[in-house]
Structure 1
Amino acid sequence: MARPSRKSASTRPDIHTQITNQIIEAIEQGAGDWQMPWHRTGEGLNRPLNADTGNAYRGINVLSLWVAAEVRGFSTGLWGTYRQWQAKGAQVRKGEKASLVIFYKEYDAEDVDTETGETTDGKRRFARASYVFNADQVDGYERPEPPVAINPVEAIDQADAFIRSTGAKISHGGDRAYYRPSSDSIQMPEPSRFLGTPTSSATECYYSTLLHELTHWTGHAKRCDRQFGERFGDEAYAMEELVAELGAAFLCADLGIALTPRPDHAAYIDHWLKVLKADNRAIFTAAAQAAKAGEFLEKLQSVTKAA
């Protein structure tokens, strides 16, 4: 039987701890040369999809399934529950281990955040676990033809149009990339100063860096108004960097751009581990805020097209 074992509520860690520990373990297993899952392939990385509905997973579930696929060497981003695979005429192989995703049981409440379960009155919906298996773990499933990869030129054109539609103030010059809150502007080196890597072209390096800074840009008070100081104190800056890292990963996956680690990426790993170990909901907060940043930027695309 391939179903996950059911432990009693008193012995099973809560859902937030299970997912947080999974991500911590994956990072620590990589020791000093850890690369986040979204840096692992030169073809870019798509959001994981539910094999039954075809819908893309969101927020923390994207990160959780990316990590699971990286650690266990899965070659596909298709996932489904035991019953969903059965309904498609497929069978999860005996002994296969499920991966954990999270959802929130719905209650009648206004303005509910679907990633954190928070409402405007401070209440929370009940977090529920769901166990899914990758298509690599099942027999009897005929995979559909993989989607045609986005032409690199088209991907860059698409990314350029996406960024331009935000209306963000972007200046070029110098040798550093950063967002400056005081002027509400992004500073980027000239595109010609970026170098290619084994997984990304020089142009992709430029755009993935710009999408990182664009995620920072969404944190301004007149946009998503991200404030981590009260909760995370001295680690608030590391939290914002994690949001920008995840935000850029989500955007690159959607736009077909291979994400390149920032030069200072490794320096933040220890900070992130410290935050994750101290707060089992920190990664949920970061993923939810990254998702909100992406949704905000998507809405700007709609506004531009409507105009």
Structure 2
Amino acid sequence: MSNGFKSPYQLITDRILADLARGVAAWAKPWNSDAPAVASRPMNFSNSAVYRGVNTIMLHIACVERGWPVPAFATFNQVRKLKGSIIKGSKGEHVFFKSQVEANPKTAEEEGRANADGKIKRTVLKGYTVFNLAQVEGIEIDLPGLAKPSEIPSEIVDLAQLVGVTLRHGGDKAIYRPDIDAVTMPVPESFESLAHYKATAFHEIGGHGTGHESRLNRQFGRKFGDDAYIFEEMIAELCAAFLALEFGVQGDLRHPEYIASWIKVLKSDNRAFYRAAAEAQRAMDWIRERAGGPSP
């Protein structure tokens, strides 16, 4: 559009593409918090709500790039209600949510379900601005009180049992086989660190394992490189990132060779990353419910 407007989907996609073009997966960037008592998942310090889906990734990236030690955010009005203020010159971060709006029908099918006013309800993505705790003054927050213990088991053997996949060790490749519903991992000692082992296992078990037809029934793709295959890899990468944030484990880019393919997909579909993050969040919700956590 002539006024330079970008849709929320395009804002998200442009942000991710900027890093991918440099050969970096933004969601796998390590983040070392100076406040280890605080949960690593981005959350709202006003109401203790944990951000979800693509917002988790976008706010994590902001913390990494801007050096914020605590992943806690709030809106301008929430800060004001807490009797605080935003430090002058601070630039906020976008978070996104879906909302229904009334619109004019564009097709015959839409006209057929229009209401009495001739309108239909259409779901759109909207955004609003939040500020990090480091950008706020005049209030005190109980940082340890923000921490929320996870219901999900952090040990890989326990996670595999919870999901329901068979876990085996051996060989030099990490792989999930949906035909036998099993994950094969190299022995932990062969990885650079225990964190790298866990990050890889998160990808295979929490990511691919949840997509099995007996669970969330995702499409895995028929061959290396097709669109469904690449999209599934993106989902698994993001699910691994969510689990890494859950337990404060340094993220690890599982398949760096996919970056060129991800760039191609995102350039052709500016909703692809949002949808992948939503599917990864769906997988996390499934795992959390299975572990006895609260329903999303």
Identify the TM-score tier after normalising by the shorter chain.
0.7 to 0.9
2:172 aligns with 175
Partner of 2:44: 50
State which of 280, 286, 290 in structure 1 corresponds to 2:280. Answer: 290
Change (3 A) 1:255 1:57: same
- Residue 248 of structure 1 aligns with an amino acid whose one-letter code is A
Q: Quick one: distance in 1 between partners of 2:154 and 2:69?
A: 28
TM, length-normalised to structure 2 = 0.78
Q: Provide the rounded CA distance (Å) in 1 between the counterparts of 2:138 and 2:181.
A: 54
User: What percentage of aligned pairs have identical amino acids?
Assistant: 35
Distance 1:164 1:185, change over 3 A: same
Q: Provide Cα deviations, 1:16-35, integer angstroms capped at 9, x if missing partner.
A: 1112212222443xx24x35
When residues 162 and 255 of structure 1 are mapped into structure 2, their CA distance, relative to the original with a 3 A threshold, is: farther
Runs of 5+ in structure 1 lacking a partner? 1-7, 108-122, 197-201
* Aligned partner of residue 252 in structure 2, secondary structure: coil
Change (3 A) 1:225 1:104: same
How many residues are matched?
A: 265
Query: Matched residues in 1 for 2:227 and 2:75: separation?
Result: 36
One-letter amino acid of the counterpart of residue 172, structure 1? H
C-alpha separation in 1, matches of 2:2 and 2:132: 26
Matches within 5 A, 1:154-303: 158-196=155-193, 202=194, 204-214=195-205, 215-227=207-219, 234-262=226-254, 265-302=255-292
Shift of the 192–36 alpha-carbon distance from structure 1 to 2, 3 Å rule, reads: same
State the Cα deviation string for residues 224-252 of structure 1 (Å, max 9, x = none). Answer: 1112769xx83322221111111011112
The separation in 2 between residues aligned to 1:161 and 1:147, in whole angstroms, is 27
In structure 2, the CA distance between the partners of 1:212 and 1:147, relative to structure 1 (3 Å rule), is farther
Tell me the SS of whatever aligns to 2:246: helix
Which amino acid in the other structure matches residue 59 of structure 2? L
Number of the residue aligned with 1:199 = none
Who is 2:141 aligned against?
Answer: 143
Shift of 1:160: 4.0
- For 2:253 and 2:271, locate their aligned partners in 1 and report how far apart those are by CA, in whole Å: 24
CA distance in structure 2 between the aligned counterparts of 1:138 and 1:280, rounded to whole angstroms: 33
**SS at structure 2 position matched to 1:46:** coil
Query: What residue identity is the alignment partner of 1:257?
Result: V
Going from structure 1 to structure 2, the CA distance change for 1:57 and 1:149 (only over 3 Å counts) comes to: closer
Contact 2:46–2:74 (CA under 8 A) maintained in structure 1: yes
Q: Output the amino acid matched with 1:275.
A: V
The aligned residue for residue 20 of structure 1 is 13
Corresponding residue of 1:61: 55
| Deviation of 1:39 (Å) | 3.4
**Aligned partners of 1:150 and 1:285: how far apart in 2?**
26
Find the aligned partners of 2:146 and 2:42 in 1 and give their Cα distance: 16
| TM-score, structure 1 normalization | 0.76
Q: Quote how far apart the aligned CAs of 1:206 are.
A: 2.0
Structure 2: gaps spanning 5 or more residues: 102-120
Contact 1:150–1:256, Cα closer than 8 Å, also in 2: no
How do residues 87-166 of structure 1 correspond to structure 2 at under 5 angstroms?
A: 87-105=81-99, 124-146=122-144, 158-166=155-163
Could you say what secondary structure the match of 2:251 adopts? coil
Instruction: State how far apart, in whole Å, the 1-side matches of 2:146 and 2:46 are.
Output: 21
CA pair 42-68 structure 1, distance change in 2 beyond 3 A: closer
Distance 1:9 1:126 in 2: 21
